[in-house]
Structure 1
Amino acid sequence: MAQVKTPRVLHIVKWYPHAADPQNGVFVRKHIYATDSNPLVLGFLNHAGPPEHDGMCTLYGSKNMSTAAKWGAYFAKVKSVQPELIHFHCYAPDLAPLLWFAKRAGIKTVHSEHWSGFLAQHPRPLQGWRKSLARWYMNQCHIVLPVSSVLSDGIKALAPDSRRNIVPNIIDSGVRKDTEKRPCTSICVVADVVLSIKQQDKIFAAFSALPRMQFELHFYGGGPDESTLSQMVKNHSNVFIHGRKSNAEILDLLPQHHALVLYSAYETFGITVLEARQAGLWAIVKSEFGCAPFYDEGCIIVTSDEALHTALEKVRELPRPEAAEFKDLSSHSIGKKLRTIYSKLLYA
């Protein structure tokens, strides 16, 4: 039986877990480790910390790093590992010259995208040279891998000649535990605290009209508006702000709650919805999120603030839903899909 050749893939990342922020880009790391247990990774991350080296992974805090230094690190890594393919993750303008270098050297290129900036409904669309550069980049990659169809549509509108193949986020199965639910009907929100996008203020407004002795609301996540949210809820004894938690912590905490709410203005995917369903929670969501193709009967779709309030009130009377399974989104399934894409690009 012929042995399948494993290509040497160099992953270049802009978001990735590091010492100062172990939760940064965890979704990127999951994709990478689904393809290889000892991957080749080069990172240019948006912080000013010292370089980190772990096996074949090198991460630079590139906030104060010169362009020449970035290019030098790139050429040194490419010379060292001699990749057959370079897989870029999460667009940024400084990836464009690295893509050009790779193509000039005859190296195949793949790009995975998660960024909401390519969505049609994003309030600050790319303009001018930034838009032109992003269009060139997406059109020049051998293949672009958006995490959802809505993101793919946004990239297509920007770069009609781009070649795209949807590769969703990974939903870790974890270990299911029989966790005791909290005594009140417990609602949780897992999202960065950016009120203009994630709309925790609207969730709180809908929730605050519910009976205090029967419901409680838990916010998980950090962000620029965390202090504003704290001030907003300070007089409500049944509302709790927990700050940022790791993905592993969230997966452990979810089963304590009865429902999760994600009421963002937009979501390229919305991974917490599916993690909540896998934990056996109701998920109160909008229909246009990137993960919508995976919704099941445990998802309650709302279209207005009034519908959100009604759904929150309704959860108390609903029986516990069956936990969902997302086998097609497992690390094994997504890893197999990525390796197939690599093989077709290199050996077909």
Structure 2
Amino acid sequence: MSRRPRVLHLPKWYPHRYDDQDGDFVARHVAAIAAHGGADGALLFATVARGPLPGLIDAEEDFTGPIPTLRYYYRAAPTGLPLLDKPLKLLLYFWCLGRGYRRLRRHWSGQQPDLVHVHVLLRTGLFAWALRVSRGIPFIITEHWTLYLPERAAGISALRRVLTRAVVRRAAALHTVSDGLRRAMAVLGFVNARSVVIANVVDTELFRPIPSFPHSPIPPFTLLHVSAFHDGVKNISGVLRVVARLRAAWPGLRLRIAGYGPDEPKLRAYAAELGLLADGTVAFLGKLLHVAVAAEMARATALVSFSRAETFGCVLLEARASGCPVVATRTGGVPELFEPENTFGLLVAPDDEAALESALTRIVAKAVVFDPVRLRADAAARCAPAAVGAAFGALYRAVLAR
């Protein structure tokens, strides 16, 4: 193919009018591919509205930027009758994608995409499969979702398993963000003859050490946690309990928590119950822009993640790019990011609060030291936009050549 291929991106999650950080890791993949993947892309996204709409659907169609981006929103309760609304919302979803696809065809002067890139299953993959059957357009799948990990896989319905197995097998390639996720999907029967692992993107220009804030073992010792507040998965309450025990030995200890989500009120109340807010040990920072997160990471003694399920963990590599060591859990794809053992941080078992307390004590006491230069070099090699975009470009060329 002499010209640059046209790639249609179909994400399940993507930043939108109600949440500008939802699926931002997908947005970084799309941007890296556009800049370094040698392809011309367009993005088509549909999601349920979180507020009133003037009609059944509303559209944001932007053809002015480097990546034509079409976002569609449909009503959460079209009729107000739950038994009717669930299938009707599914129909509205596919109607939005069909409308967007026709708009992009017109934008491309009647030409169709050469390749469809699905980001996170399942409805996105069903639409891509339909395009393959009706128009002969190959599709590839990128998967990030912790749903497929052993800790959560019991929640996958029988119908979803059948459909996911069929869609994955018919894709031209399956990309996962970690080998742990690829193996977990294979156990469930979600396999593809062409499987590749490509990392998530880290903005290595933004996330970097700041010389004016050197990592220091002297008080106050600042731990940082960054996540969506889904406590059942992220186990932030476990971090709070460990910090409550540590503060007696380390009076200057501080935990700064950045993020937002449905469990925030419960977690704030729990921190208050443990006495962590009254004495300033814990501070909830709320939703932060990436530039503010980068500044927090550059100042922190360590980033702490106590997740029960994690396919990659972008914040773990963002901290690494900032020269900040990490204490995280051995779950999903995390261990492969920390090889050789104890080179880039410390790992503990999920829910093992005693091990987390011991690991954090070792870092605060400077019993173990990590080289910020080595941390950053590894993150840049794995996750810089140019490296990730070029890897996707190679995958596209291999698929289209076949």
TM over 0.5: yes
Corresponding position of 1:334: 388
Aligned in 2, Cα 1:160/1:21: closer, same or farther, shift over 3 Å?
closer
> Could you tell me which residue of structure 2 aligns to residue 249 of structure 1?
292
Q: What code does the residue aligned with 2:143 have?
A: E
Structure 2: give runs of 5+ residues left out of the alignment.
Answer: 52-57, 77-88
Q: Deviations over 1:183-202 (max 9, x none)?
A: 51011111111111111111
User: How many Å separate the matches in 2 of 1:25 and 1:292?
Assistant: 23
Q: Normalising by structure 2, report the TM-score.
A: 0.80
**Which runs of no fewer than 5 residues in structure 1 stay unpaired?**
none
Given that 1:13 and 1:42 are in contact with CA atoms closer than 8 Å, whether structure 2 keeps it comes out as: yes
* 1:282 Cα deviation after fit: 2.0
Matched residue of 2:317: which SS?
helix
Deviation at 1:96, TM superposition (A): 0.8
Specify the alignment match of 1:7 in structure 2: 5
Aligned to 2:211: 178
Q: CA deviation at 1:92?
A: 2.7
- Aligned ranges for residues 99-248 of structure 1 at < 5 Å? 99-122=129-152, 124-163=154-193, 164-175=195-206, 176=208, 177-180=210-213, 183-211=219-247, 213-234=251-272, 235-236=275-276, 237=279, 238-248=281-291
Match of 1:54 among 58, 62, 85: 62
RMSD (CA atoms): 2.3
Using the alignment, how far apart are the partners of 2:189 and 2:75 within structure 1? 28
Query: SS at 1:51's partner residue?
Result: strand
Letter in structure 2 aligned against 1:280? G
**CA deviation vs aligned residue, 1:185-225 (integer Å, no higher than 9, x gap):** 01111111111111111111111012352201111111111
* Partner-residue secondary structure (3-state), 2:4: coil
* Corresponding position of 1:279: 322
191-200 vs 117-126, greater mean Cα deviation: 117-126
| 2:118–2:124 Cα contact (<8 Å) kept | no
Task: Please list the CA deviations of residues 210-253 of structure 1 after superposition, one character each: whole Å capped at 9, or x if unmatched.
Answer: 23522011111111111111011123221111122233321222
Cα distance in structure 2, aligned partners of 1:99 and 1:68: 13
TM-score by length of 1: 0.91
Runs of 4+, deviation exceeding 6 Å? none
What secondary structure is seen at the aligned counterpart in 1 of 2:233?
Answer: helix
1:310-329 equivalences in 2 (<5 Å): 310-318=358-366, 321-323=370-372, 324=375, 325=377, 326=379, 327-329=381-383
Deviation by residue 1:61-112 (Cα, 9 ceiling, x = unmatched): 2454515622531441453332111111111335414422233311111111
Once the two structures are TM-superposed, the CA of residue 53 in structure 1 deviates from its matched residue by 2.3
Q: Which amino acid aligns with 2:163?
A: L
Q: Deviations over 1:276-297 (max 9, x none)?
A: 1221222111233414323262
- In structure 2, relative to structure 1, the CA distance for the partners of 1:196 and 1:222 (3 Å cut) is same
Distance 2:326 2:191 in 1: 36
Larger deviation: 222-231 or 18-27? 18-27
Q: How many residues align?
A: 346
Q: Cα distance, 1:161 vs. partner?
A: 4.3
